[in-house]
């Protein structure tokens, strides 16, 4: 194997306070020899996930990122070398990797995907976030026709897809975001019935007025104060899908980071609510059917995927910092390498 050097972004120091670009460093090392069961992948696009921030400090099912470690994320790329029986050289694959030019991953965790014009869609619409939106709305939230569904971080990677999937199920969908411009887009271009700004002084009143008969399904991407606001507005037998807790990942405020929300258990008892955690990996057997359905909805233009594409490995830290401040529209992705040469 020819000599390859790997440029990667690592966590430079223990976090104190909110995440900033200074917490990251660039490291260049030789690509190590692959173990017999590993696939060597040239990374083309990497996701910018809020979970990358969560694993720097909070408890998640994933290993903690320590100073010197690479950044936890999903990637799509091209196979350079793989064991017998694995994907062939030049196949397009996704896996968990890092913000780096080359990733080594166990063959059992590498998924071959079709080559398509916009490869980054394997990280959004046809990747973990699309699947999360799909299973959160259909299997956990069980959103149904005529119901009121509220989605937080509704213009984000998971949220804008979850809101549209709930509309396909026939629900009336209300988005929550941190910006009026995002809200206009959700209503004018993605068919949301309404959208409210979580930063507005009138946020609670507006949401209450829009949900007069209560909220049947709350797709919660944020936790924190937004969940506190939504909980008392739930309808009897409502379902809360706990997908993510972005509000707590990077907060300097102990009250926000503390486990919540307020109102448990009484509000849950009063309204016979179900609050259920979602881990998309639980639905592995159903991924192929879900991916087929997501692709079909997109082809039929029932589902519009928004991508916030940033250019270059070095742009990744700033992209994550921006996302945690709400400065992303749709799925945030960075391009790390060029598309494969046409054969």
Residues that bind ligand NAP (CB under 6 A): 49-51, 128-129, 132, 153, 155-159, 177-179, 182, 198, 221-222, 224, 226, 243-247, 278-280, 323-324, 326, 328, 332
Query: Do the bridges between strand 5-11 and strand 73-81 make them parallel or antiparallel, or are there none, so unpaired?
Result: unpaired
Distance between CA atoms of residues 133 and 33, nearest Å: 37
31 vs 316, which CB is nearer to ligand NAP? 316
Residue 86 CB, shortest distance to ligand NAP, in Å, is 25
Residue 161 CB, shortest distance to ligand NAP, in Å, is 8
| Residue 204: both structure tokens together | 């609670």
Residue 157 CB, shortest distance to ligand NAP, in Å, is 3
User: Rounded to 5 degrees, what angle do the CA atoms 286, 105, 60 make?
Assistant: 65
Residue 50 CB, shortest distance to ligand NAP, in Å, is 4
> What is the phi/psi pair of residue 120, to 5°?
-65, -15
238 vs 136, 139, 168, 198, CA distance in Å?
14, 14, 19, 21
Question: Three-class SS of residue 92?
Answer: strand
Query: Do the bridges between strand 331-335 and strand 307-311 make them parallel or antiparallel, or are there none, so unpaired?
Result: parallel
Residue 226 CB, shortest distance to ligand NAP, in Å, is 5
103 vs 246, which CB is nearer to ligand NAP? 246
> Which residues have CB under 8 Å from 310's CB, separation 6+?
48, 316, 318, 319, 332, 333, 334, 335
155 vs 169, which CB is nearer to ligand NAP? 155
Residue 68 CB, shortest distance to ligand NAP, in Å, is 23
Distance between CA atoms of residues 16 and 73, nearest Å: 22
87 vs 175, which CB is nearer to ligand NAP? 175
207 vs 247, which CB is nearer to ligand NAP? 247
Residue 159 CB, shortest distance to ligand NAP, in Å, is 5
Distance between CA atoms of residues 189 and 301, nearest Å: 12
200 vs 271, which CB is nearer to ligand NAP? 200
227 vs 143, 259, 266, 340, CA distance in Å?
18, 11, 15, 43
56 vs 91, which CB is nearer to ligand NAP? 56
């Amino acid at each position: 194997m020819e000599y390859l050097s790997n440029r990667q972004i690592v966590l430079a120091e223990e976090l104190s306070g909110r995440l900033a670009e200074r917490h990251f460093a660039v490291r260049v090392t030789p690509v190590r020899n692959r173990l017999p069961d590993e696939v060597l992948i040239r990374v083309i696009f990497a996701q910018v996930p809020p979970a990358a921030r969560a694993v720097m400090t909070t408890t998640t099912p994933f290993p903690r990122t320590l100073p010197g470690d690479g950044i936890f994320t999903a990637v799509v790329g091209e196979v350079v070398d793989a064991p017998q029986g694995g994907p062939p050289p030049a196949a397009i694959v996704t896996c968990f990797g890092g913000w780096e030019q080359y990733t080594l991953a166990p063959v059992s965790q590498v998924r071959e995907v079709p080559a398509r014009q916009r490869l980054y869609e394997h990280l959004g619409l046809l990747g973990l976030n699309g699947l999360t939106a799909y299973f959160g709305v259909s299997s956990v939230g069980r959103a149904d026709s005529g119901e009121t569904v509220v989605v937080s971080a509704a213009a984000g990677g998971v949220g804008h897809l979850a809101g549209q999937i709930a509309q396909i199920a026939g629900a009336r969908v209300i988005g929550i975001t941190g910006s009026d411009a995002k809200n206009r887009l959700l209503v004018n271009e993605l068919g949301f019935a309404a959208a409210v700004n979580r930063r507005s002084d009138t946020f609670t009143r507006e949401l209450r007025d829009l949900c007069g008969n209560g909220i049947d399904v709350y797709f919660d991407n944020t936790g924190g104060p937004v969940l506190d606001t939504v909980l008392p507005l739930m309808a009897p037998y409502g379902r809360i899908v706990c997908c993510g807790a972005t509000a707590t990942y990077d907060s300097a405020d102990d009250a926000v980071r503390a486990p919540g929300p307020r109102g448990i258990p009484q509000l849950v008892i009063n309204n016979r609510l179900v609050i259920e955690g979602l881990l998309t990996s639980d639905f592995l057997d159903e991924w192929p059917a879900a991916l087929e359905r997501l692709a079909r909805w997109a082809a039929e233009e029932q589902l519009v995927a928004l991508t916030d594409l940033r250019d270059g490995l070095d742009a990744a830290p700033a992209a994550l910092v921006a996302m945690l401040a709400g400065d992303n529209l749709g799925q945030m992705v960075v391009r790390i390498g060029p598309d494969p040469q046409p054969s």
